Structure 1
Amino acid sequence: MATHQPDYFVPQPSKWPLVGAFALFFIGLGASLAVNAVSAGWGALAVGVAILIYMLFGWFGDVIRESEGGVYSKRVDISFRWGMGWFIFSEVMFFAAFFGTLFYVRTISVPELGNMEHKLLWPDFRAMWPNSVAPNGTEPYQVMGAFGLPAWNTLILLTSGVTLTWAHWGLMKNNRSQLKLGLLVTVLLGALFLGLQMYEYAHAWGDLGLTLSSGVYGATFYMMTGFHGMHVFIGALMLAVMYARSLKGHFTAEHHFAFEAAAWYWHFVDVVWLILFVFVYWL
């Protein structure tokens, strides 16, 4: 006899929010001490990260067991979808702030600093983007070209979106082999993207002289591409968990929101990179 599925699942009291609070406390304390050159800061930061990893495995593990146990109703599924949708919206606003900063610098700040009034203060300043000389005028650097590693990374991310969609089709057709292979290839492509980005950073820093101190161009370049790289890492980690779950037989054509949530996040990361490629590397 089938068990009755409640309209809304109410979990038992959980320790995980408290554990997460301790993790954030140690991370905040450790980061504050570390940036002020206090040696204990790195230890506190490591403790905070370790507690956070423990919380993530424990909390998501509980959710996975509840999901596989069949206690989630359609209403819970809808709430999960709304939650993931709002989370991705917050990420959209996160990157919108960075693109807004880039727009302000390129179209307002740099032209303003190059007018006749400011020429009296900075006679050698050239109102062009990107400038090829750091603010002190003694540290020349080269800008990162678009049609090299960045173009290859764009192709890699676009391909990963295709392989992930192919994996989703396999799931909907109950083709487990296609699901697993598509997920595995997507995760490997994400790792390849991160590897090439690390190589790109080493090339930019060592060969092109492009550092965080290379004026506003260097600051915005590393800020925007670095945060995107962090999101690629998180997305690849999420998809790796989906791959591990698929090996255990999780997900069906009717019940696979965790897979969909990770796929939404990955496609969002892909779209952000396309915009980054155009406005940071190309134009």
Structure 2
Amino acid sequence: MSHPASASRYFVPQPSYWPLVGSCALLLLASGAVLMMNSVANGGFVVLAGFAVLTTMLFGWFGRVIGESEGQRYNLQVDRSFRWAMSWFIFSEVMFFVAFFGALFYIRVLSIPDLASPAQAALWEGFQNSWPSAGPAATDPFSKMHAWGIPAINTLLLLTSGATLTWAHWGLVAEKRSQLIIGLVLTIALGVLFLGLQVFEYAEAYGHMNLKMTTGVYGSTFFMLTGFHGFHVTLGVTMLTVILFRVLKGHFTAERHFAFEGVAWYWHFVDVVWLGLFIVIYWL
């Protein structure tokens, strides 16, 4: 279909082999992970092969979608479909974090007080209802993560990155490409700095605070929540970098730029999740 999309025609893409490639990548990743967990030789190479195939799929499939978009094959009806798809994707991510926040709520509000109650005294004598806690069976001392320091700096970085991304969006709408590019570069730089500080924080936790994944419920919930958030920041930085390269190639107009908006939605979602983490994990 070589003509531009009209208001009455919904673009139907040609059959694609990229979903099959993606399925092969997932099969390799799962198989390699199982081999590694069972200490089977070459399991790590199978995982690396899975990542290589997955990366190839992402470049090929998204490249095809970008080509169709720049070829003006998508009308406003397709644009609305993309918006709904991104909205449901972000909703699924919200529920993903809600599950972990719910686990933390259960531990702090229900489980720990119950284990420290008089009814459990014979089983866990001397266990106190206090947080942070590694649980009644834990014996190794550890230090709690405090809100002020790296966590507060990272909060400022992410809040600032949300502002720079909004400023970049204003530049796109106003057709000020230099403002758009500068805003994107600043947002990406702030995201990378956030990740660097998080790596340093983890090194300090393991090296000097004896806070690890194995440090009972406090260590496991801390690293699961902040670690998955860091993974989402990494995805966001990757997507923003792709958007930056597309901007440098002259993509997007003031009227049609949903790819930029979709990534901006995702980045603001990551910002909001971090505010919740900062309050619940570090502050309270």
Q: How far apart are residue 119 of structure 1 and its match? A: 1.5
For the aligned residue pairs, the C-alpha RMSD in angstroms reads 1.2
| 1:45 paired to 2:47 | yes
| 1:177 paired to 2:178 | yes
Cα pair 1:134 1:141 within 8 Å, conserved: no
Structure-2 residue corresponding to 1:59: 61
* Matched AA of 1:218: G
Name structure 2 gaps, 5 residues minimum: none
Shift in CA distance, 71/3, structure 1 to aligned 2, threshold 3 Å: closer
* Matched AA of 1:205: Y
Structure-1 residue corresponding to 2:245: 244
Cα pair 1:135 1:215 within 8 Å, conserved: no
Q: How far apart are residue 138 of structure 1 and its match? A: 3.3
Q: How far apart are residue 41 of structure 1 and its match? A: 1.5
TM-score normalised according to structure 1 size: 0.97
Q: How far apart are residue 124 of structure 1 and its match? A: 3.1
Cα pair 1:204 1:210 within 8 Å, conserved: yes
Count of residues in Structure 1 that have an aligned counterpart in Structure 2: 281
Counterpart selection for 2:103 from 93, 101, 117: 101
Q: Deviations over 1:134-175 (max 9, x none)?
A: 655431000000011000000000000000000000000000
Counterpart selection for 1:79 from 78, 81, 87: 81
| 1:148 paired to 2:146 | no
Cα pair 1:134 1:140 within 8 Å, conserved: no
What SS does the corresponding residue of 1:252 show, helix, strand or coil? coil
Give the 4+ runs in structure 1 shifted more than 6 A.
Answer: none
Structure-2 residue corresponding to 1:122: 124
Structure-1 residue corresponding to 2:222: 221
Shift in CA distance, 101/254, structure 1 to aligned 2, threshold 3 Å: same
What SS does the corresponding residue of 2:261 show, helix, strand or coil? helix
Shift in CA distance, 130/248, structure 1 to aligned 2, threshold 3 Å: same
Shift in CA distance, 203/148, structure 1 to aligned 2, threshold 3 Å: same
Cα pair 1:161 1:267 within 8 Å, conserved: yes
Between the aligned residues of both structures, percent identity stands at 59
Q: How far apart are residue 7 of structure 1 and its match? A: 2.0
Q: Deviations over 1:213-263 (max 9, x none)?
A: 111000000000000000000001000000011001111101100000000
Q: Deviations over 1:74-98 (max 9, x none)?
A: 1100000000000000000000000
Shift in CA distance, 39/3, structure 1 to aligned 2, threshold 3 Å: closer
